Amino acid sequence: MADTAAIQHACGIGIPLLRGLRQRGSAPARPQQGLDAVLFDLDGTLLDTAPDLIHAANQLRVEQGLAPLDDSAYGPVVSHGSAAMIERGFNLLADDPRMQPLRQRFLDLYRATVSRRSRPFDGMPELLEQIEQRGLRWGIVTNKPGWLTRPLLEDLGLADRAACLVSGDTLPCRKPDPAPVRHACELLGLDPARVVLVGDAMRDVVSGQRAGTATLIALFGYICAEDRPADWGADGLISHPLDLLTWLDHHRSGSKPAAAEPRSGAA
């Protein structure tokens, strides 16, 4: 099984974080002032899907007569789609004629075990419960195609809880284009200014900002040192899912959380 902590360590995560105290008490049963919904990226934000993605890539290597790679070898590309996984796993360029058949086989293998090892990040189930208890709604905007996204969410019991789902093939374009985020806001019936988008990639920040939502960076996701998330211009950075509750509280009050040291155990 892939070790997400090892992947993060290999990627060089360890930048100063912006966070506050976790909120563990009872929450008000009304929406935060000015914000009514949270949109999550899927891979590397809502769910830790790296174990199943890496398993499929290494299974494909074995089929091709190659030894599996260490989990950390996929760290820099695990959230950048199937083509990036094949490029890294087989040291191929995007225009290599072997790319497409290998990519299709990788997707077939991944679909067969799409939810076998994938799980919500630590603290995410509690966060979703708190969001719902506060009277907010949450949804998903992902570049993952729907034929992979829907079964994954159904297997993990999340499909019926999400207020909206925009997959990578819902529209003709994907993030960083703002259209998927705008479409999610339309499905929610909300002005983008009343929504915050949480993701672990620069494309999430760009998409959200261009759509008009607030944006937060999930530093617990698949971020590598070269990504420089502190330079992406998001409205905040969170080191743990439950830190989102603190950000919402500060947003409601109009104050800003102070910079703090990484949580214990952060790589």
Catalytic residue annotation: 41, 43
Q: Is residue 84 within 8 Å of 18, Cβ to Cβ?
A: no
- Are the C-beta atoms of residues 20 and 52 closer than 8 Å to each other? no
Q: Find, among 233, 161, 196, the residue nearest to 32 by Cα.
A: 196
Alpha carbon distances (Å) from 177 to 171, 203, 227, 229: 10, 8, 19, 19
**Beta-sheet strands, E only, within 87-231:** 119-120, 137-141, 165-166, 195-199, 214-218
Is cis: bond before 180, omega within 30 of 0? no
